[in-house]
Amino acid sequence: MKNSVINQRITANLWFDRNAEEAVNFYTSIFKNSTIKGITYYTDEGFDIHQMPEGTVMTIVFELDGQEFLALNGGPVFKFNEAVSFVVNCSDQEEIDYYWEKLGAGGDPKAQMCGWLKDQFGLSWQIVPTILSELIANKDQEKTSRVMAAVMQMKKIDVSVLEKAFAN
């Protein structure tokens, strides 16, 4: 088995009900340079607390494009919410379209706004062009206001619309 040791100081821990393996397979299929690094399984020890049958996946250490994550099958106690999301910085519209389509497949279309989407597991992602931070950090307040007004009207970010708002 691959090394299941976490190799970075701070790692996002994602709590799933009982579908961590399905989610990890989904995420690693989308992001290039991704891998499952290790899997641990529940034993009968602590069953009275965790209620997971022996042999059920407990944790999965995985990497998405160089960033390590830990997925936990923790049961139905906690759910994801929009207070925490992952930002995917995209170099161009083609990348935005790719991640929007892949991560949003089967997700909640009502949770889409300003580049945010919610995937089929309830996890929130923000799919943004790297140019956005440059445009809204500009010292010309009129330009940044136009860009922000454009972003607020979008679900999926359209780079050409942002650039036009900035230029006008």
Q: Where exactly are the structural domains of the chain?
A: 12-73, 85-167
β-strands 124-129, 85-90 pairing: parallel
- What are 17's two structure tokens? 């009900």
Q: Is the pLDDT of residue 95 over 50?
A: yes
- CATH 3.30.930.10 holds for 12-73: no
Q: How many CB atoms lie within 10 A of CB 52?
A: 19
**Tens of pLDDT, residues 125-154:** 999 999 999 999 999 999 999 999 999 999
User: Could you tell me which of 90, 39, 31 has the C-alpha nearest to residue 63?
Assistant: 31
- What are 57's two structure tokens? 């996946």
The model's pTM: 0.91
**Tens of pLDDT, residues 5-39:** 788 899 999 999 999 999 999 999 999 999 999 99
User: Could you tell me which of 127, 88, 123 has the C-alpha nearest to residue 106?
Assistant: 123
The one-letter code for the residue type at 46 is: G
User: Could you tell me which of 134, 118, 136, 115 has the C-alpha nearest to residue 126?
Assistant: 115
Mean pLDDT throughout 156-167? 97
Can you list the positions of beta strands (E) in the chain?
12-16, 35-41, 57-64, 67-73, 85-90, 108-113, 116-118, 124-129
Q: Is the pLDDT of residue 3 over 60?
A: no
- What are 153's two structure tokens? 């009207």
Fold of 85-167: 2,3-Dihydroxybiphenyl 1,2-Dioxygenase; domain 1 (3.10.180)
Which phi and psi angles does 101 have, rounded to 5°? -65, -50
Q: How many CB atoms lie within 10 A of CB 106?
A: 9
Mean pLDDT throughout 78-105? 96
Q: Which range has the worst mean pLDDT, 18-32, 37-51, 83-97? A: 37-51
d(CA 163, CA 7): 39
